[in-house]
Amino acid sequence: MSQKEWPLWEVFIRSKQGLDHKHVGSLHAADAEMAVQNARDVYTRRLEGVSIWVVESKHVHASNPDDAAAFYEPANDKIYRHPTFYTVPDSIKHM
Amino acid sequence: METAELTQEEQFQARIDADVRIEPKDWMPEAYRKTLIRQISQHAHSELVGMLPEGNWITRAPSLKRKSILLAKVQDEAGHGLYLYSAAETLGASRDQMLADLHSGKAKYSSIFNYPTLSWADMGTIGWLVDGAAILNQVPLCRTSYGPYARAMVRVCKEESFHQRQGFEIMQTLCEGAPAQKQMAQEALNRWWWPTLMMFGPKDADSPNTEQSMKWRIKRFTNDELRQKFVDMMVPQAEFLGLTVPDDKLKWNETKQGYDFGDVDWAEFWDVVKGNGPCSRERLQARVQAHEDGAWVREAALAHAEKRRQRAETVAA
């Protein structure tokens, strides 16, 4: 008897038209079709979704949290990217 | 910088203290990981085994409405188990290993499911009392320090509230029915009250893991705190139903603004934990058999997926 586990899939659900797909969890399934069906049963029993994406977990590449400080550093000192960096005279409207 | 002088473990604790959630790829102490895997998988096992006492009544539900509701509830429990197993897997636990530990008896699950469901009123009592206790345990877990566990618990809690309400409705219907029906409800409460109080775990003094789990913010309240909350919450509901809580020491305490209540039979608790509950063997057997009976399906699905993959490759080539 085979001892092999079904592959792991990450599940993303669009809760309604106009919103993006959001990660909700994972599940095991033999193939993509079964993963979508299982995702429907596990994650949308109460109409939580109108669209489902599944991605085999092994295909997800992630940034490393240990490198977060250095990795996001370039954005750290550029406060001029935010509108609040600029002062606008009180008399100026619609800006 | 100050953080440079902190050890990895101290930095970890500082994040916990600042209520920053821990995510799967973050550094964490091995003991934190192990504690979480144990707790989350036990929780998942409880959901899975928890389907059995109620499954017992699906074919005998008193109406089509009750049957549909019970089916939906049992299906939710399967779902809760799956959310939780998937949270445990983010810590590096394998699904097959967790199931193997359940089936070999190495892993524990909530002792409450080792009690039999003798009458339809037990379905009401399980929803009202047992799920009521589960909710008290679970609501604080929505803020537990490990992100995937907290997120799974948010989904569980949303669904659990339907479970409790349908149970209360069953009890209310029985209590407003014929004397024999009310009697059935009272007997179910008598059977389940004490085992439900045991669900919160041993007394704080006998719960060596509590302190560390509180420090790591895995747990947010102690066992005794939750047990007290439960009694304070449930006694008025039992009174509303016209039922008597089977505890002659139960008494309102004006100074503490809560109920005093009798002591749980801890010998019974530990005995059930050790696997000697009235239905322990039966539950585990049912689980193992379901798993073994499904082995060919799991294998066939893999073989089918592999065949389709190869065929797709041939067509592409």
DSSP letters of B25-54?
TS---HHHHHHHHHHHHHHHHHHHHHHHHH
- Residue B20 confidence (pLDDT): 96
Locus of tokens 């940034």:
A63
Task: Spell out the domains of chain B, with CATH numbers in brackets.
Answer: 8-316 (1.20.1260.10)
Q: What is the largest distance, in Å, between two alpha-carbon atoms of chain B?
A: 81
Q: Which residues touch B37 (CB under 8 Å, ≥6 apart)? A: B88, B91, B92, B93
- Tell me: the pLDDT tens digits for A4-38? 899 999 999 999 999 999 999 999 999 999 999 99
Contact A34 B301 (CB under 8 A): yes
Name the residue ranges covered by the structural domains of chain A: 8-63
Give CA separation, B310 vs B297, B299, B306, B315, in Å.
20, 17, 6, 9
Distance from CA of A32 to the nearest CA of B (A): 9
- Tell me: the pLDDT tens digits for A52-91? 999 999 999 999 988 988 999 888 889 999 999 999 999 9
Contact A5 B76 (CB under 8 A): no
The runs of H, that is alpha helices, within chain A are 32-43, 68-71
- Note whether B135 and B164 are within 8 A (CB): yes
Neighboring chain A residues of B75 at a CB cutoff of 8 Å: 41, 45
- Note whether A10 and A26 are within 8 A (CB): yes
Q: Which of A61-70, B11-20, B188-197 has the lowest mean pLDDT?
A: A61-70
Spell A60-80 as b/e; 16+ CB within 10 A means b: eeeeeeeeeeeeeeeeeeeee
CA pair distance B54, B61, nearest whole angstrom: 10
Of A30, A29, A24, residue with least CA distance to A11 = A24
Neighboring chain B residues of A42 at a CB cutoff of 8 Å: 79, 82-83
Residue B26 confidence (pLDDT) above 60: yes
Neighboring chain B residues of A47 at a CB cutoff of 8 Å: none
The ipTM of this complex is 0.89
CA pair distance A27, A42, nearest whole angstrom: 8
Query: In this structure, which CATH number among 3.10.450.50, 3.40.50.720, 3.30.1280.10, 3.10.20.520 belongs to the domain A8-63?
Result: 3.10.20.520
Q: What is the largest distance, in Å, between two alpha-carbon atoms of chain A?
A: 79
Q: What is the mean pLDDT of residues A35-43?
A: 97
- Residue A1 confidence (pLDDT): 42
Q: What is the mean pLDDT of residues B253-267?
A: 97
CA pair distance B125, B118, nearest whole angstrom: 11
Residue B247 confidence (pLDDT) above 80: yes
Q: What is the mean pLDDT of residues B96-103?
A: 96
Q: What is the mean pLDDT of residues B223-227?
A: 96
Q: What is the mean pLDDT of residues B273-299?
A: 95
- Dihedral sign computed on CA atoms, order B264, B270, B271, B272: positive
CA pair distance A19, A48, nearest whole angstrom: 12
Of residues B72, B86, B148, nearest to A27 (C-beta): B86
Q: Mean pLDDT, chain B, as a whole number?
A: 95
Top-confidence residue, B2 or B74: B74
- Residue A66 confidence (pLDDT): 87
